[in-house]
Amino acid sequence: MAHYKEGRQAEDVSTNIMKPRLKPVVYTTHVYSRGSQNTTQQMLLLKAMQVTQDPKQLRAMIGVKTVADVYRTLDKLSMRKEYHSALLKLGIDFDFIASGIKDIAESGEKDGDRLKAFQTLLKSIGLDKYDGEGGSSGSSWEEELLKSIETKKDEPTKELAPHYEVITPVIPESARKQREDEAEALGSIYE
């Protein structure tokens, strides 16, 4: 039976030995960011390095506290690059992953495995969440696609190739007459 005193240690009543009072370990994401995957900072660092190579300016540009965080981000970036090249050497690319998920979705032994494969595919294309009421502040992928199509229609098109003038040939009178006769004949069949 342990009796806890105020302070850092607790006394075991049966043996009169002082034991350290252990507290639970609490992990938070905003305090301990050394082990986190900071892909946003990595992308910002790549963009910032196009402007300057000074670590102090890079620190300010990507929003980290110390210059050591800049170097740590560079290390994570280089490790990620090496990891991706190692995956490619082993033949693991997006085609390999997508075909594996597809194979499980088509021929998985359990229904649960097939369902998870389909959920993974839906999540990869952004259809994993469905808001039936439309109450979310963000718009769906369909609305974003329609908006981008509309903005492309409104923008003036830039000509990449030289402009060619197309001259349509004049249809001979006999061919035009034949087409009209065929259209009349087809129209009377279905009426």
Higher pLDDT, 68 or 130: 68
Other beta carbons within 10 angstroms of residue 79's beta carbon come to 10
d(CA 98, CA 125): 12
Highest mean pLDDT among 26-35, 107-116, 119-128, 182-191: 107-116
Is residue 61 within 8 Å of residue 44, measured between CB atoms? yes
pLDDT at 115: 92
Mean pLDDT lowest among 78-82, 162-166, 167-171: 162-166
Mean pLDDT, rounded, for 73-89: 84
Domain boundaries, given as residue ranges, for the chain: 93-127
- Helices (H) and strands (E) counted in the chain, each on its own, are 7, 3
Q: Which of 23-37, 45-59, 153-167 has the lowest mean pLDDT?
A: 23-37
Place 11 in a pLDDT band, splitting at 50, 70 and 90: low
Q: Radius of gyration (Cα) for the chain, nearest Å? A: 33
152 vs 27 pLDDT, higher one: 152
Percent of the chain at pLDDT above 70?
65
Average pLDDT over residues 63-74: 86
Query: Model confidence at 2, in pLDDT bands (50, 70, 90)?
Result: very low
Nearest to 12 by CA among 25, 23, 24, 1: 1
